[in-house]
């Protein structure tokens, strides 16, 4: 069930009526049933698989929390990562092994997602990467003593399967939601305006910006040899805008839906572009994944406890594995290598006193954003350099499973063929780019410009809310026949 579909809004509308009309003691049960229905809408068979994974994990979690059982932790990690590796990386491992075998392609080369003659085709379960990370984080927090009491099974089940964040994040951890599940929720205390604003902004990012730029990005990057080098670069820029608008749009809608249900989810994006260091960019991009990689992979590898050289290696390996988490293809691995290498390089330069990473756009203060336009030429060059890295790395990310896509794009940029042409860029592309910049700025400031003088406009809130709701309904109806899945649903 896509967030940008009529079905989802009917589902959410009915759920909100039933949920807030019921006594508090029934609301978690209603949310659990709703989350089951949400997953079953995609596949009832995989819902059974999903429930089985949670049921197998729960007794292990209790042993981990109550007994600090390391064998239980090992069993849980084998179960969860084994499940992830089988469904997500089986074909990738087969292709990689086949490439290492000398001679003619043999039996392994015939095992593909399109060929079910040898083994049944393996279908990737919905949200497997996200719920695996969430479950593993809970286990590790338990062995570290950060969780002192095991939740009941249904509370645990709801925590993992809570539908707004379930498909593509944010990746929530025990301190994000468990306590909120126990607290009384008053419908009068719900910030309806902010919830609808987040949903509206997410819809605009996804349907107005991401889906629009996706058309141009796909057309250019899949046939780059047809276009002039500048337009091939522009296609990669369009892809970066698409991925950001798509994923941050989903995160906004997940947070907005949660606000309407009385919960707060962590912020997942905070204006990641136009920073003066790649570190700052990454700290603002997919924030919950960044923290997960830091707390459960980088630290587990030793972090910075074993010396500077080892810490650089740990950081690089963390992002290589983080790239592989995004997809089972060498394009994602190379993207992870690029991200890790740049972050390690910045750390080395910072330690040597050659760069400073604290002079970023806005420095997280609203008034400092105005200073961006009077930055020095050096800072402007740094900003453009970081954007170049983001776009270049995005070419490998876009290639994903097929490195030939990256190769043809780079060839088209640096060794263009004869007879190339321009891509028909229109004024609508420019308009959507300006809308992207505006929504990016709003996200960076976390709605502060909209809330500073809220009291002055208080009397207009209800009519504006009604008009906005009707406008969103018409907008949704207009786009209903062209719904496109979110990019991160494949992960």
- In the numeric block, the tokens 């950001």 are attached to 244
Q: Is 326 among the catalytic positions?
A: yes
> What SS3 class is residue 335?
helix
Angle subtended by helix axes 128-143 and 153-161, to nearest 10: 130
> Which residues on adjacent β-strands are paired with residue 36?
none
What one-character DSSP code corresponds to residue 416?
P
| Closest listed residue to residue 388, CA positions, set 464, 223, 278 | 278
Render 38-67 in DSSP notation, one character per residue. Answer: HHHTT-HHHHHHHHHHHHHHHHHHHHHHHH
221 vs 447: CA distance, rounded Å: 34
> What SS3 class is residue 227?
strand
491 vs 479: CA distance, rounded Å: 25
> What SS3 class is residue 201?
helix
277 vs 99: CA distance, rounded Å: 37
Question: Which of 166, 176, 326, 440 is labelled catalytic?
Answer: 326
Tell me if 315 sits within 8 A of 344, measured CB to CB. Answer: yes
> What SS3 class is residue 421?
strand
Tell me if 60 sits within 8 A of 139, measured CB to CB. Answer: yes
278 vs 389: CA distance, rounded Å: 8
Tell me if 204 sits within 8 A of 439, measured CB to CB. Answer: yes
Token pair of 86, please?
């089988």
Q: Give CB contacts under 8 A, 24+ apart, made by 120-123.
A: 122/86, 122/87, 122/90, 122/91, 123/46, 123/87
Dihedral angle, C-alpha 72, 291, 285, 369, nearest 10 °: 160
| Run of H or E including 330 | helix 330-351
Tell me if 441 sits within 8 A of 358, measured CB to CB. Answer: no
Task: Give me the active site residues, please.
Answer: 326
């Amino acid at each position: 069930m896509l967030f940008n579909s009529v079905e989802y809004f009917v589902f959410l509308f009915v759920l909100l009526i039933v949920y807030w009309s019921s006594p508090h003691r029934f609301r978690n049960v209603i949310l659990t049933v709703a989350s089951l229905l949400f997953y079953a809408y995609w596949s009832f068979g995989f819902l059974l698989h999903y429930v089985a994974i949670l049921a197998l994990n729960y007794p292990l979690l209790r042993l981990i929390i109550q007994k600090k059982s390391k064998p239980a932790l090992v069993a849980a990690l084998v179960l969860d990562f084994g499940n992830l590796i089988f469904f997500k990386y089986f074909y990738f491992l087969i292709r990689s092994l086949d490439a290492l075998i000398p001679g003619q392609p043999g039996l392994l080369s015939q095992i593909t997602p399109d060929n079910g003659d040898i083994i049944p085709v393996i279908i990737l379960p919905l949200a497997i990467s996200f719920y695996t990370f969430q479950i593993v984080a809970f286990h590790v927090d338990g062995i570290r003593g950060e969780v002192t009491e095991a939740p009941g099974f249904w509370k645990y089940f709801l925590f993992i399967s809570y539908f707004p964040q379930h498909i593509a994040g944010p990746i929530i951890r025990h301190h994000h939601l468990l306590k909120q599940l126990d607290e009384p929720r008053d419908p009068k205390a719900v910030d309806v305006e902010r919830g609808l604003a987040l949903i509206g902004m997410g819809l605009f990012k996804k349907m107005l910006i991401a889906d629009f730029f996706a058309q141009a990005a796909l057309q250019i990057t899949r046939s780059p040899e047809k276009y002039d080098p500048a337009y091939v670069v522009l296609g990669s820029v369009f892809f970066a805008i698409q991925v950001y608008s798509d994923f941050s749009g989903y995160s906004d809608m997940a947070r907005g839906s949660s606000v309407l249900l009385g919960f707060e989810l962590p912020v997942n994006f905070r204006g990641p572009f136009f920073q003066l260091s790649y570190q700052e960019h990454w700290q603002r991009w997919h924030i919950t994944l960044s923290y997960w990689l830091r707390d459960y992979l980088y630290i587990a590898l030793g972090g910075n406890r074993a010396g500077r050289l080892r810490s650089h290696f740990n950081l690089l390996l963390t992002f290589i594995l983080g790239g592989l988490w995004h997809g089972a293809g060498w394009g994602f691995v190379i993207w992870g290598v690029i991200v890790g290498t740049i972050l390690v390089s910045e750390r080395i330069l910072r330690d040597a006193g050659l760069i400073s990473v604290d002079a970023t756009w806005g420095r997280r203060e609203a008034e400092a954003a105005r200073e961006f336009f009077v930055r020095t030429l050096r800072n402007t060059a740094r900003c453009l350099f970081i954007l170049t890295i983001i776009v270049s790395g995005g070419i490998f990310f876009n290639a994903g499973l097929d490195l030939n896509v990256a190769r043809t794009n780079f060839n088209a940029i640096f060794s263009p063929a004869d007879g190339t042409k321009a891509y028909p860029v229109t004024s609508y592309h420019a308009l959507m780019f300006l809308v992207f910049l505006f929504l990016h700025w709003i996200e960076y400031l976390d709605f502060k410009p909209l809330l500073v003088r809220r009291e002055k406009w208080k009397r207009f809130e209800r009519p504006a809310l009604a008009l906005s709701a009707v406008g969103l309904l018409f907008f949704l109806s207009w786009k209903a026949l062209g719904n496109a899945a979110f990019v991160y649903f494949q992960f």
